[in-house]
């Protein structure tokens, strides 16, 4: 049976995977968004359901004024003796740490911080009970580039051996994302090289000892789409897993540049999670059978029926659904699901979307090129500068809005674009009603903004290019979010914004 890549679409990079019986669990990076490190469950490696986050408390994930594309880098998830471990880096505070739990749905423990520099930490629980910690060089101490390793005590986080350079890679830039495996007594070291851009690749080495010496795979890189015209690009940062039938598979990140002929390469959905089969040759080396395609043969995987896409969120629950995220640590007084039951209430603060801070913002990832999003907003602002609405947010310097606010003393609906240092409000119209439906129709090239009264006709206000929110223009490591927001633009807003529902139609 065929399956479709990506297996987890939208901004879900740096996948790591583990197996417990017939169940599989996968985590991805979350950078400056909160809660941190989304965790997914699957039975078939193809269909994944989010079951929570590993980092749900500010004590686990301090992100105060985190720079865009900082925060959480490259988590690794592993399972040992009835316990799950997730190890990662918080670049905002410059520390590596791990958390643990007996239930992957959480809650997870408080962090155990490590005296370990670099990024992309990973764990191997070896058959003899020893635990090996792997990671990258310390860029601040001038260490040579490469993969470093030490034995570690999992109870305390203390190192039990010296920190040693075990492999420098094949010469590609930025050797990182290491994962060490003991497979039938041989230690295989899987890493990423080339940087997480269009030159990204996966390389491998092996040894008879956990600290080496390591010999390079004769066919390195074992995965790369560099210098190709494939619809999937920048493949790298992989993790291996063995399915219950003995077959081997890899999850990795990749990007899908917008499929627009003769327009250059731009991707705005972020780095996504892909799946590919792994074969083993007669010399005991793994190979990834050719390039990763948008549609692939699932071989022996018992692929289940895809879970139906949830189109509408009525905000009727006591907690937000797992796809929703905050920008950095939210102010607990900035939002509520209980102040007006059945609505998401946002209280605008002085913080703007342009600020490197925590605005009143609740967003979810854009996961498809072609989609329609809309929300019913009830908002009756009275003070100049108050506004609320829908943002297409890449970072604080690159975003679009369709919103309602007081402008020059008059309540208006408007669209605005912020592209680097360029800031422009356009297509603003007086709007006297309390309720309004704000909508965005997305395709691979453009976002088209419209509004309507709840029982009225839709009125188009304008459009903006998706490419201006792409990584190639905006920079960083994330992807576009569809966000609901409110702000007083420099002062505390006096009027709450009530969002009745949010729709995401394919």
| DSSP 3-state of 60 | coil
Residue 27's nearest CA partner among 256, 331, 273, 345 is 273
8 A C-beta contact, residue 234 and residue 271: yes
User: Which tokens sit at 451?
Assistant: 């509004």
If DSSP states are collapsed to H, E and C, what string results for 65-88?
A: CCCCCCCEEEEEEEEECCEEEEEE
Give dist(CA 384, CA 465) in Å, integer.
Answer: 29
Residues 6+ apart with CB under 8 A from 499: 315, 343, 344, 345, 346, 375, 376, 377, 378, 484
Q: How far is residue 96's CA from residue 92's CA, in Å, rounded to a whole number?
A: 11
443 is catalytic: no
How many CB atoms sit inside 10 A of residue 65's CB?
13
Query: Which of 32, 44, 176, 401 is an active site residue?
Result: 176
Is there a catalytic annotation at residue 293?
Answer: no
Tell me how far apart the 2 most distant CA atoms of the chain are, in Å.
76
407-416 CB contacts, 8 Å cutoff, 24+ apart: 408/384, 409/384, 411/381, 413/438, 413/451, 413/461, 414/461, 415/449, 415/461, 415/462, 415/464
* Closest to 428 measured CA to CA, from 456, 455, 449: 449
From 14, 120, 193, 313, the catalytic residue: 14
Other CB atoms within 10 A of residue 163 CB: 16
Secondary structure of the chain: what % helix, strand, coil (to 5)? 0, 45, 50
CA-to-CA distance for 341 and 337, rounded, in angstroms? 6
* 12 CB neighbour count, 10 Å cutoff: 27
Contact by Cβ (8 Å): 241, 251: yes
List alpha helices for 104-160, DSSP H.
Answer: none
**CA-based nearest residue to 273, from 298, 248, 256, 296:** 256
211 to 141, 150, 227, 500: CA distances (angstroms): 22, 8, 34, 57
Catalytic (active-site) positions: 14, 176
């Amino acid at each position: 049976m065929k399956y479709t890549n990506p297996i987890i679409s939208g901004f879900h990079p740096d996948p790591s995977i583990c197996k417990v019986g017939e169940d599989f669990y996968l985590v991805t990076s979350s950078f400056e968004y909160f809660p941190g490190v989304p965790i997914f469950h699957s039975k078939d490696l193809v269909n994944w359901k989010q079951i929570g986050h590993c980092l749900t408390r500010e004590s686990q994930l301090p992100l105060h004024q985190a720079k865009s594309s900082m925060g959480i880098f490259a988590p690794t998830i592993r399972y040992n003796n009835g316990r799950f471990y997730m190890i990662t880096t918080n670049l905002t505070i410059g520390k590596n740490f791990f958390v643990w739990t007996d239930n992957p749905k959480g809650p997870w423990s408080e962090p155990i911080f490590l005296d370990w520099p670099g990024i992309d930490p990973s764990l191997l629980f070896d058959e003899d009970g020893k635990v090996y910690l792997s990671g990258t060089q310390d860029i601040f101490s001038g260490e040579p580039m490469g993969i470093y390793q030490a034995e570690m005590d999992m109870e305390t986080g203390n190192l039990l051996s010296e920190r040693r350079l075990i492999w420098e890679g094949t010469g590609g830039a930025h050797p990182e994302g290491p994962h060490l495996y003991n497979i039938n007594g041989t230690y295989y070291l899987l890493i990423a090289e080339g940087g997480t851009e269009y030159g990204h690749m996966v390389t491998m080495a092996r040894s008879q000892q956990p600290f080496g010496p390591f010999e390079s795979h004769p066919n390195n890189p074992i995965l790369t789409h560099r210098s190709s015209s494939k619809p999937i690009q920048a493949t790298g940062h992989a993790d291996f897993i063995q399915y219950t039938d003995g077959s081997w598979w890899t999850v990795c990140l990749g990007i899908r540049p917008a499929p627009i002929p003769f327009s250059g390469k731009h991707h705005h959905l972020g780095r996504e999670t892909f799946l590919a089969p792994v074969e083993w040759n007669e010399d005991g080396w793994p190979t990834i059978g050719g390039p990763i395609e948008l549609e692939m043969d699932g071989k022996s995987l018992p692929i289940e029926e895809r879970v139906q896409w949830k189109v509408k969120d009525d905000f009727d629950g006591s907690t937000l659904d797992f796809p929703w995220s905050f920008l950095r640590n939210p102010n607990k007084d900035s939002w509520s699901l209980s102040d007006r039951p059945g609505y998401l209430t946002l209280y605008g603060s002085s913080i703007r979307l342009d600020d490197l801070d925590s605005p009143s913002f609740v967003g979810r990832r854009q996961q498809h090129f072609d989609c329609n999003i809309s929300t019913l907003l009830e908002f009756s602002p009275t003070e100049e500068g108050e506004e609320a609405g829908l943002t297409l947010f890449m970072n604080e310097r690159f975003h679009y809005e369709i919103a309602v606010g007081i402008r020059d003393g008059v309540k208006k609906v408007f669209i605005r674009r912020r592209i680097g240092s360029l800031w422009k409000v356009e297509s603003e119209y007086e709007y006297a009603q309390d309720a309004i439906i704000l909508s965005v129709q997305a395709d691979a090239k453009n976002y088209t903004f419209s509004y309507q009264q709840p029982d009225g006709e839709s009125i188009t206000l304008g459009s903006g290019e998706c490419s201006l929110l792409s990584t190639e223009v905006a920079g960083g490591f994330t992807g576009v979010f569809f966000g609901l927001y409110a702000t007083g633009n420099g002062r505390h807003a006096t009027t709450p914004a009530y969002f009745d529902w949010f729709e995401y139609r394919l």
